Amino acid sequence: MTLHRTADDGWDLIAAGVGPALAAASTAAALTAAALDRVPYDLVVSAGIGGGFAPEAPVGSLVVADAITAADLGAETADGFLPVTELGFGTVTHHPPAGLVAEAAAATGARPGTVLTGSTVTGTAARAGLLRARHPRALAEAMEGFGVAEAAAAHQVAVLELRAVSNPVGPRDRAAWRIEDALAALTTGFGKLAPVLRSWNPHE
């Protein structure tokens, strides 16, 4: 994990790594260090590129999560997938503050919806269809949001997730990935998000 501290406005940037476990560990370490220093964070933003479900989230578009959902946390059964919540423990969805999501969407043009977290990039139409059937509101898939949200929830800190779509969710087609375009869209989006974050009331 690499932490970049801004001197002036109290924001830190963490390059958390790929995957929910590393993202959770990195986020939890930063949250714990800040709490021990008695300068706790008010908000954690998970941001990066992601896969977009067609046609709602095309490559180059932005998605802001109103639900951050673990797509593969559960048990496979002969009758299908059971999320851990149906097994009687844990949680599979975190909800960012609704007002902040609405303001972020308005400021950046990001579409609000569910962002799925998984440990594997979807690579078949069958898996994409299955995910969409299970999560009809899903707009995007990535690999870190739920881990970040779990760490934030453990510290009772709010979470937001912003994704720029670099590729469609579906059959693996590496040549179709537009990572540079997505990172450019994310950078532009963050420029528009910054004033929203600055004026956000954590007690919303």
The residues that touch ligand LNDFFVEH, with contacts defined as CB under 6 A, are 18, 48-51, 121-122, 141-144, 166-167, 169, 174
* Nearest Cα to Cα of residue 66 among 112, 128, 14, 126: 112
Q: Return the ∠ at Cα 168 (arms to 99 and 147), rounded to 5°.
A: 50
In angstroms, give the least distance from the CB of 65 to ligand LNDFFVEH: 12
Task: Between 186 and 200, name the residue whose CB sits nearer to ligand LNDFFVEH.
Answer: 186
- CA 15 to chain centroid, in Å, comes to 14
Task: Between 108 and 122, name the residue whose CB sits nearer to ligand LNDFFVEH.
Answer: 122
Task: Between 4 and 38, name the residue whose CB sits nearer to ligand LNDFFVEH.
Answer: 4
Long-range Cβ contact pairs of 199-202 (< 8 A, separation 24 or more): 200/42, 200/43, 200/97, 200/100, 200/103, 202/42, 202/43, 202/158
Task: Between 119 and 188, name the residue whose CB sits nearer to ligand LNDFFVEH.
Answer: 119
In angstroms, give the least distance from the CB of 142 to ligand LNDFFVEH: 3
What does the block give as tokens for 201? 């009331």
In angstroms, give the least distance from the CB of 62 to ligand LNDFFVEH: 13
In angstroms, give the least distance from the CB of 23 to ligand LNDFFVEH: 8
- CB closest to ligand LNDFFVEH, residue no: 51
* Nearest Cα to Cα of residue 158 among 109, 100, 110, 73: 100
Q: Are 164 and 182 in contact (CB under 8 A)?
A: yes
